[in-house]
Structure 1
């Protein structure tokens, strides 16, 4: 009797362990595109990114590069230079002020189907004793200007460390390489280059849980 109980408990425990392992290996959850598919936006108004990093260049560095991936995804993007100047002429001088504008007002002024809100949470170089890294992290939310519904949101990060390799040379060599990288990264503003990679990862239509292809997308861009 005791042996039967023991074997039953053992089988139950083994089953629970297997279920836990399978649960941990489950495929990543897909994004719910229900609202996006119902909205079918054709045009996007991109607002200046709100900069949450210490680098003052972050906002416009990313802002100047978001049109390309969105256009390639098949959307008409309101020219960011015109949009920025329009806000300034109306007394909205920074991204935080622009973000306070209501969807209804934005729709009235620009006539776009949707608006893209951007945040830069990490930008620039950092020195970490034996390594130097330039990284840019940004997040985005796409909102329907006709009804205020959230259509999509995502986050992406790119880093120069992805291409770095340790070629040996010991600790001293690693320190020298890190210091040289830090100087080069600062002088050349590699943050702008990395911001371009981040914008592509964030706003391309061919990434997992990314933005859906727009009406002008090439046939091979469809999921």
Structure 2
């Protein structure tokens, strides 16, 4: 209980007081989403933090209030939940009761990172997402965020491919493509998510000015 009271208080300080209120009866989709840290099935330790840094904006653009992901992750760790698996096991009713979140987004990262071969390199991100109503436990949306970039596709012959592979491996130590790929993959997958109440209300107000 101490954990959830702490979580609730800090989320309010982070801006939750201006966010969700009880939705109207005719609104099916949730107003607010709490994104839990992803379960990482890849070998890249930075994958969860990169994913979290790219997920809030596209969700907000679809019309949802997103609880601050860094605050949620930090407070859970501070209160004894050190792995994403443990965080995913927190009962939905407790999350709803102590944060007000109407829905929770669960993420499993399946593939992440850059792979180098003789004449090519490939950067890939893939994550499965599930949006669950905190009040009923019903899954209202599923999606897979997937994007990749293959350096070999930019070259017409073996010599160009060899040179390109060397350049990519050198620059790859300085520049990680997965951030852009994560953003691209999430935005694309959320295109199948129904627009949220906040966007619908904004469009309504704009049309009635």
TM-score between the two structures when normalised by the length of structure 2? 0.78
Secondary structure at the residue paired with 1:160? strand
List runs of 5+ in structure 1 lacking aligned partners.
1-36
Q: What displacement does 1:197 show?
A: 1.4
> Where do 4+ consecutive residues of structure 1 move more than 4 Å?
none
Aligned partner (choices 191, 194, 200) of residue 212 of structure 1: 194
Query: Matched residues in 2 for 1:143 and 1:185: separation?
Result: 37
**Contact 1:132–1:179 (Cα < 8 Å) also in 2:** no
Aligned counterpart, 2:165: 178
- Choose the corresponding residue for 1:116, options 105, 112, 116: 105
1:44 is matched with 33
Instruction: Spell out, residue by residue over 1:86-141, the C-alpha distance to the aligned partner (whole angstroms, 9 max, x if none).
Output: 21222111211101111112112211100000111111101232211111111100
Q: How well do the aligned residues superpose, as a CA RMSD in angstroms? A: 2.1
State yes or no: 1:99 paired with 2:99.
Answer: no
SS in 2 for 1:188: coil
2:177 aligned with 1:190, yes or no?
A: yes
Contact 1:107–1:113 (Cα < 8 Å) also in 2: yes
Is the Cα contact below 8 Å between 1:143 and 1:151 reproduced in 2?
A: yes
Q: 1:163 to 1:219 in 2, by over 3 A?
A: farther
Q: How many Å apart are 1:171 and its aligned residue?
A: 1.6
> Helix, strand or coil: the match of 2:44?
coil
Q: 1:46 to 1:162 in 2, by over 3 A?
A: farther
TM-score, normalised on structure 1?
A: 0.73
Contact 1:44 1:113 in 2 (8 A): yes
Offset at 1:219?
3.5
**1:161 corresponds to 2:150:** yes
Structure 2, gaps ≥5 residues long: 1-25, 205-209
Show CA shifts across 1:50-96 (max 9, x none): 11111100011001111000000000111112111221222111211
1:81 maps to which residue? 70
The structure with the larger Rg is 1
> How far apart in 2 are the matches of 1:163 and 1:156?
23
Q: CA deviation at 1:179?
A: 2.6
